[in-house]
Structure 1
Amino acid sequence: MNLTGISTWKGSWKKGNGTLSTQTRILEAVPVSYSSRFEHAPGAIPEELLAAAHAACYNQALANIAGQNQLETTSINTTVNLDLGFDDAGRPEIKSIHFNVEAAIPGASEQQFQTFAEGARVGCAISKIIKLPTTINARLLPG
């Protein structure tokens, strides 16, 4: 499968603007600018999209790991907090990533769940390309 993201940009970094789109058209010409990214103006924040994608990737990985262990998930809620800042040279930098996960997996022990949660954290496709240390707080809910 070959997936495509598209972005346009016109102007300087702080005064310019552009768009984000996907080949599937789930995003189409969504505005992006320095102001939307760093000053809370309306528009997309690429790193926020990454955090949402990472949460979705994680949830599917956790459900897959549970299934491989003959357990069925009934719910998974994941929030990925991504800390965006600047490096010493003033360039944007993702400083940290933290997962907050709550999942109901009937029949899973706490130890199994923590093993599954950690496996999904390091094994989902997006986690595999991120070389930044990530942390997790995972809570098993009653099934």
Structure 2
Amino acid sequence: MKINRSGSAVWSGGLKDGKGAISTQSGALSAYPYGFASRFEGVPGSNPEELIGAAHAACFTMALSLILGEAGRTAEKMETTAVVTLEQQEGGFAVTASKLTLRAKIAGLDEAGFQELAAKAKAHCPVSKLLRADISLDAELLG
């Protein structure tokens, strides 16, 4: 099976004075603004790193849901955040890490089993495989 999904960006102008708009195939984002100021100066608007973070958090959480199901468990609730790090290095900027933070409530699962399944989801999540960055995981079982 092969599935293609798309996102797009439109840009006008130079790096610092230019303006862009991001759209997704689903319409979740439609010409949403982004630019230098929203990426580097905290001005409202989006940026690639937060979009990668949202994709990573969503993919990891779905992967864990699959793995939990295979283990006969269902989460009552899982909340995942992915903090994507953009660093200036010699030769330019690089995305150097994605830190996943998971808070989950899953009945009947002990801490060791939870950590094992969360680590498996981190390793097998398609976005984790794509990033190939230093992906860390901070998982906490609530309840």
Contact 2:49 2:85 in 1 (8 A): no
Partner in structure 2 of residue 21 of structure 1: 23
TM-score, scaled relative to structure 2: 0.93
How far the C-alpha of 1:61 sits from its partner, in A, is 0.9
Please provide the CA RMSD for this pair.
1.1
Q: For residues 34-49 of structure 1, what are the structure 2 equivalents within 5 Å?
A: 34-49=36-51
TM-score, scaled relative to structure 1: 0.93
Partner in structure 2 of residue 122 of structure 1: 123
Q: Structure 2: which amino acid aligns with 1:132?
A: A
Q: Residues of 2 paired with 1:130 and 1:53: CA distance?
A: 11
Aligned residues: 141
Which sections of structure 2, spanning at least 5 residues, go unmatched? Answer: none
Question: How many percent identity over aligned positions?
Answer: 35
Which sections of structure 1, spanning at least 5 residues, go unmatched? Answer: none
Structure 2 residue 66 is the aligned partner of structure 1 residue 64? yes
How far the C-alpha of 1:131 sits from its partner, in A, is 1.2
Q: For residues 89-108 of structure 1, what are the structure 2 equivalents within 5 Å?
A: 89=91, 91-108=92-109
Partner in structure 1 of residue 13 of structure 2: 11
Q: Structure 1: which amino acid aligns with 2:99?
A: H
Which aligned segments of 4 or more residues in structure 1 are displaced greater than 6 angstroms?
none
**Deviations along 1:55-103, whole A, 9 cap, x unmatched?**
11111111110100111111111111112121212x2211222111111
